[in-house]
Amino acid sequence: MGEAQRAAGHLEDARFAYENALALDGRESSARLGLGWTFLGLRRPDLAAQAWRPLAGAIAEAAVVREMVRLYRSLGDSAAVRAALGAAATRARP
């Protein structure tokens, strides 16, 4: 539901859907990832970083890692930058 709302540009509705999904299962990484993108769309990078922080060491998709690194650098969060880059480098090794 959150993805459809976000794709349609209904960011507050998407936020609500993602937050509800996380309330049911806080480990739901796709909801956490979508919530971060939604917060970026709402121009709340602080909340996007908070949503994504638990995923920083678990995501290997290059586009997402690049955005995480850009976001964390803009906020001065060097530990999260290292976590995101470290996970990507580890997964890229054969």
How many structural domains compose the chain? 1
**Residues 10-25: pLDDT tens digits?**
999 999 999 999 999 9
Q: Among residues 45, 37, 40, which one has the least CA distance to residue 73?
A: 45
Domain span at residue 81 reads: 2-92
Among 57, 56, 12, smallest CA distance to 35 is for 12
Residue 56 has a pLDDT of 85
Q: Considering only CA atoms, which of 26, 62, 22 is closest in space to residue 38?
A: 22
Q: What does the pLDDT read at residue 89?
A: 59
Question: Residue 46 sits in a domain of what CATH number?
Answer: 1.25.40.10
pLDDT digits 0-9 by tens, 12-67: 999 999 999 999 998 899 999 999 999 999 999 999 999 999 998 888 888 999 99
Per-residue model confidence as pLDDT tens digits over 73-94: 999 999 999 988 886 555 554 5
Question: Which pTM was predicted?
Answer: 0.86
Amino acid identity of residue 23, one-letter, is: A
88 CB contacts (<8 Å, ≥6 apart)? 59, 60, 62, 65
